[in-house]
Amino acid sequence: MSNKSGKIKSPTADRILKITAYSFTVLFSLLLLYPLLYTISNSVKDHVRIYDVPPKTIPEAARSLSIVLDYSELGAMDDRELLDLAQRDNILAMFSTLAEYPRDSLFEIKTFGVKEGKTIFYSRAHKMKLELLRDFGVYRGSVVKADVLLHGDRYVRASDAIGYEFDSVGLPRQPEASPARDEFDSRLTALFADKYKLEGFFSHSTLNTNNVLLLENYWYYFQLPSYVYSNNELIAQYSFLTFVFNTLLVIGWAIVTQVVLCSLSAFVISRLLDRKAGNAVLLYFLGAMMIPFASIMLPQLVMYKEIGFYDNYGALLLPFLYPFGFFVYLFKGFFDQIPSDYFEAARMDGASNLYLFAKICMPLSKPIITLIVLQTFIGNWNDFFWAWLVTEKQHLWTINVALYSLSINGSTKQNFILGLSVLMTLPVILMTVISSRQLKQSVMGSGVKG
């Protein structure tokens, strides 16, 4: 095989070049993905395990602990008294186990109350649910002690928040058969009998592995704002969805306004103004991009306050009523490439300028619109500073403002922040993957090389 210069090109050299190129591509892809994968790994770990030295990329398997308490020796009692006793023991067993064994990867605790061979009480809690109650809920700011856990009606409210089943006749749930007693059973026996003094007799416990519990973490990460900002009715009801709604509202408004305003401006520059006037207007838009935001930030903030657009949705939406210069430039370059014959033929049929814009320019501009939608989505999904500057009310926060506020809360554990960060990163990745083909077409169609 020879090239134009007459030299023979070796198939072996071609093969080596391809192998080298693929190897470097895979290597750098892994290097780029590693921070995301490591963040995902840490987000499903227990908050204690995040700080292990040396750090582990793969999290430990999640374990489910079932605790069986026997009330047969307590004699006869009415249902209300028996339920109250079971609720007290349930809260003591769950929170004490969580506090005393933080490094045992216990992600689920189940409590079975049995009497005369029948299950009369059952409760199940994920570890993250218990941590939310301990850090922000019923036991906010409290230490895990028996008298603290049972003070007043705390244990009743905690039981209601966790959820339970009770029937003195018997529940259709049965605990797993008692395995051979091990060291963990011995530790629980001493813990429940001596330190926390449960009324029910600790029969046995069983440990199982269930890695689905690691993914369940994300459900409780999403509920974090409803605990931290429980005084805000909207956030208490909708939790993180409040911030997602605000972010999508801003993004949707930004996409619509930028596509409409930038395309209209570009159409005027490209098709209605002469060359010199069009270049002057385009230079204005491009020149406005060169002004650092820091230099206009305070005057813009003062102006918005004066006209009543502060700490409301107007402050978040109004800035997008100005066409972004780069998008105007993209539309203008694309409109310039449309053959003039299309417009002349339409004008001969009596078409107005609005018709030319709506029926010729916009239908052909789908690649450019896709690029603008993607850039606007990513830019505003990641935007923080302006939204943080103009909003004080918690229910107006966008995602990044909420993440920042949660991260500086001293009671928020690191795995919660990492988990929410992962959830907020995935939509951007998904959006980029879905629109990758249209993105290539838009770059080629706009005449922008890259």
Confidence of residue 450 (pLDDT cuts 50, 70, 90): very low
For 223-243, what is the mean pLDDT? 94
CA distance 335 to 365: 8
- Same domain (yes/no): 25, 119: no
Flag whether pLDDT at 82 surpasses 80: yes
Looking at the structure, do residues 150 and 281 belong to the same domain, yes or no? no
- Please indicate, yes or no, whether residues 134 and 72 belong to a single structural domain of this protein: yes
Average pLDDT across the chain, whole number: 88
Q: How many CB atoms lie within 10 A of CB 151?
A: 12
Q: How are beta strands 63-70 and 106-115 bridged, if at all?
A: parallel
Residue 6 has pLDDT above 60, yes or no: no
pLDDT of the residue at 2: 47
Residue 11 sits in the same domain as residue 71:
no
Tell me the backbone φ, ψ of residue 201, rounded to 5 degrees.
Answer: -85, 125
What's residue 449's pLDDT?
40
- Which pTM was predicted? 0.85
Question: What pLDDT was estimated at residue 416?
Answer: 92
Q: How crowded is residue 202: how many other Cβ atoms within 10 Å of its Cβ?
A: 19
273 and 342 belong to one structural domain: yes
Give me the CATH number covering residue 428: 1.10.3720.10
Q: Which residue has the higher pLDDT, 90 or 447?
A: 90
Q: Is position 58 within any domain?
A: no
Nearest to 106 by CA among 98, 96, 117, 94: 98
Over residues 326-346, the mean pLDDT reads: 90
Closest C-alpha among 339, 323, 342 to residue 331: 323
Q: How many CA atoms lie within 13 A of 332 on its CB side?
A: 24
Residue 165 belongs to some domain of the structure: yes
The encoded tokens of residue 329 equal 């430039």
Residue 219 placed within a domain: no
DSSP, res 320 = G
- How many domains would you assign to the chain? 3
Same domain for 12 and 120, yes or no, is: no
In a domain, 49, yes or no: no
| Residue 153 maps to a domain | yes
Query: Is residue 222 in some structural domain?
Result: no
Per-position DSSP letters for 352-397, written without gaps between them:
-HHHHIIIIIHHHTHHHHHHHHHHHHHHHHS--HHHHHH--SGGG-
| Cα–Cα dist 101/51, whole Å | 16
pLDDT score for 124: 96
- Token output for 63: 């374990």
Report the C-alpha gap between 13 and 5 in whole angstroms.
17
Domain that holds residue 197: 63-210
Q: How far is C-alpha 342 from the chain's CA centre?
A: 47
Q: Are both 342 and 305 inside the same structural domain?
A: yes
Max Cα distance, the chain (Å): 102
Whether 299 and 397 map to the same domain: the answer is: yes
Residue 321 burial (CB count, 10 A): 10
On whether residue 145 sits in a domain, the answer given is yes
3-state secondary structure 396-418: HCCHHHHHHHHHCCCCCCHHHHH
Q: Could you give the CA distance from residue 309 to residue 387 in angstroms, rounded to a whole number?
A: 12
Query: Would you say residue 389 lies in a domain?
Result: yes
In this structure, the answer to whether residues 172 and 304 fall within a common structural domain is: no
Please indicate, yes or no, whether residues 193 and 318 belong to a single structural domain of this protein.
no
> 210, 245, 260: which is the final residue of a domain?
210
The CA distances from residue 316 to 15, 259, 300, in Å, are: 55, 18, 12
Amino acid 439: pLDDT: 63
Does residue 143 share a domain with residue 98? yes
Q: How far apart are CA 353 and CA 343, in angstroms?
A: 9
DSSP H or E segment with residue 108: strand 106-115
The answer on pLDDT for 448 being more than 70 is: no
22-38 pLDDT tens trace? 888 888 878 888 888 88
pLDDT value of residue 269: 93
Judge if 32 and 114 occupy the same domain: no
Q: What phi, psi does 213 have (nearest 5°)?
A: -60, -25
